[in-house]
A and B are shown apart, each in its own frame.
Chain A
């Protein structure tokens, strides 16, 4: 017998190893083929547009394309004194073309983002430029409005030269790039976004905390009660869970209004005077109350499913070893529920941080979140690149939380109902 180990062959004469590998490869391919339709559908319709937002958020070609000649002429300008006649002439030619194509309005909106005050002087230029004479455009443009003779405004135009810019991200945290290329904060009274981020985080955090404090006792009760009672009580958790978000928000609007049921009750028990009814809606309070109730089931369900698996004999063992009920709870029961707390908290936090509908309806001015600002820029100011930038900043935050969730609980463990 030779010392060389004989290769095992299949009946076709192919080595078994090769044949098995081939089968495995085919199985892998088959499994992938099943996932492929959904995967490609999502990649095309969903994932790629999200990456498209990344492009939108830095895309700044609108101004660059609107003033091509101006920017070529500006290359030689040092930005210290007013630009030369050459730049003014190029700007005039570009502007004439924009007026013919009726794109000057867009330009003025865009430039106004960079520096306030452009809107009116562009409008004025539009009117006056029709009677311009040939030559010496510098004098004529500067005569339209004193701001056209202000070097600051020309520098603002110059700042918009690059086709791509991260200025929207800076704007999202109340900063801008000044003339020297340094990042500085906007004036005190115009800082709104930083406040909004902090508020979003704060509301998401407190809603998660309130949900936890309320969900823990009832999840414990549901998990320890006999089946026939707990099934009945479970309906109290599941019915709101399945009910339309708008219906639940509507019911809170009715409850919390000044003439609403809650105020009626408080007046009736004499807690508040009839003429001093509490304002619980269109402010932060409304957002807290409504969001806590709406997100509560998302905390109860993971907690319940974890508590259900904890054997009651563990607590009994703790007691029999001399622990008081509180000690046994704290040392034995509570540590076992931590996976559920983690899952529920992160789920509620992720949902709360991106909430839109409820804050918009009951939040008023002081109870709205970052999502409301994104929607506002999408629908009203039409500053889509800014909306994209803020959306992506929010997304990065959510993905960070999700990554923690995945590390702690694992996405495969998500349970529904």
Chain B
């Protein structure tokens, strides 16, 4: 992006203005996340940067909110974390199995009514969450699954499958079907072909879909708000309650942990994307 020497002054000014604007936007995107770190180490009970923190006084910082998160009295976070992971893991497994199988069918060139079926499978991503929440609540209430883990897992499978369908279909778009035919001609049965040939090739797509499904479930609050009882409380529900009632620094400790978790997910997703592009021979 370096400017050539002969650039006229007013374009030079414009170019630096442009870079400055970009810098501001990047700052706007990423800076809010970093406010959370220092405040989560606050020694005070307020959510403001104290004078001590501005002077970098070590006494102004403490781990007390992290201790409170783990050992706190009437600690809701332990149960919430357990529920969140339990629900997210099972929802991911369900979404991956249903979504991958469906994507295989959708990518077949024999698939009839592709457009309308794709639209149906993607619909949970398009319909506003609040409407999905209302509809799923009515169903679960009728089926007697409200306030159960099963109900929430089923709801999260619904939300997760579109991501799996999209990522796996994308991976399959560059898939060379002659390899499966070759396997079949060598006497492999369809299940064996899938496990030994197809799955390893589409695995990056499957895993990145799984990551999306996991994060969606782990972060989902609207539907859980409708469905959850006291025993089904999840991390987002606890954060939601905390943010609405009293903003305590403990929430920021949890938020810091969640940011670290999302960094891990981001790294994993990026590595997978590059690997999948390499496998499909896309060089960018």
Q: Which residues of A contact B (CB under 8 A)?
A: 24, 27-28, 30-39, 41-43, 45-50, 52-53, 56, 214-215, 217-218, 221, 224-227, 233, 235-240, 242-255, 257, 259-261, 264, 293, 296-297, 308, 325, 350, 353-357, 360-361, 371, 374-375, 378-379, 384, 387-388, 391-392, 394-395, 398-399, 402, 406, 411-412, 414-417
Given the complex of chains A and B, what is the CA–CA distance between A221 and B21 in angstroms? 11
Count of chain B residues with a beta carbon within 8 Å of a chain A beta carbon: 92
> CB-CB contacts of B215-226 with A at 8 A, as 1s and 0s?
100110110011
Known contacts A46-B136, A254-B36, A353-B128; decide if A416 and B167 are in contact (CB<8 Å).
Answer: yes
Distance A49 CA – B106 CA, assembled complex (angstroms): 25
Residue in A closest to B222 when the chains form the complex, CB atoms? A356
Of the listed stretches B65-73, B75-83, B176-184, B254-262, name the one at the interface; the rest are far from the partner chain. B254-262
Please report which residues of chain B, range 202-255, place their CB below 8 angstroms from some CB of chain A when the two chains form the complex.
208, 212, 215, 218-219, 221-222, 225-226, 236, 239-240, 243-244, 247, 251-252, 255
| Given A52-B135, A217-B25, A233-B26, A34:B108 Cβ within 8 A | yes
In the complex, what distance in Å separates the CA atom of A320 from the CA atom of B178?
A: 46
B161 within 8 A of partner (CB): yes
From B226, which residue of chain A is reached at the shortest CB distance? A378
Which 6 residue pairs across A and B have the least CB separation, nearest first?
Answer: A354-B128, A34-B105, A31-B108, A35-B105, A49-B135, A27-B110
Q: What is the bound-complex CA distance between A323 and B86, given in angstroms?
A: 60
Chain B interface (Cβ < 8 Å from any Cβ of A): 1, 11, 14, 18-19, 21-22, 25-26, 28-30, 32-33, 35-36, 39, 46-49, 98-99, 101-102, 104-106, 108, 110-112, 117-124, 126-139, 154, 157-158, 161, 163, 165-167, 169-170, 208, 212, 215, 218-219, 221-222, 225-226, 236, 239-240, 243-244, 247, 251-252, 255, 258-259, 262-263, 265-266, 269-270, 273, 284
- Please report the C-alpha to C-alpha distance between residue A232 and residue B187 in the assembled complex, in whole angstroms: 47
- Which residues of B have CB within 8 Å of A325? 11, 14
B25 touches A246 (CB 8 A): no
- B251 cross-chain contacts in A, Cβ below 8 A: 250
Given A214-B25, A246-B239, A416-B163, answer yes or no on A240-B247 (Cβ-Cβ < 8 Å).
no
12 CB < 8 A contacts A-B = A28-B111, A30-B108, A37-B102, A38-B98, A46-B124, A50-B135, A239-B259, A251-B33, A257-B47, A357-B240, A374-B134, A379-B226
| CB neighbours of B118 from chain A (8 A) | 411-412
Chain B nearest CB from A311 CB (Å) reads: 13
A53-B138, A411-B118 are contacts. A354–B111 as well, Cβ < 8 Å? no
Cβ-neighbour of B128 out of A27, A224, A227, A398 (below 8 A):
A398
B105 touches which of A32, A225, A245 (Cβ 8 Å): A32
Enumerate chain B residues within 8 angstroms of A293, measured Cβ to Cβ. 28-29, 32
Complex Cα spacing A45 to B124, Å:
11
Chain A residues whose CB sits within 8 angstroms of the CB of B262 once the complex forms:
239, 242-244, 247
Is the beta-carbon distance between A42 and B26 smaller than 8 angstroms? no
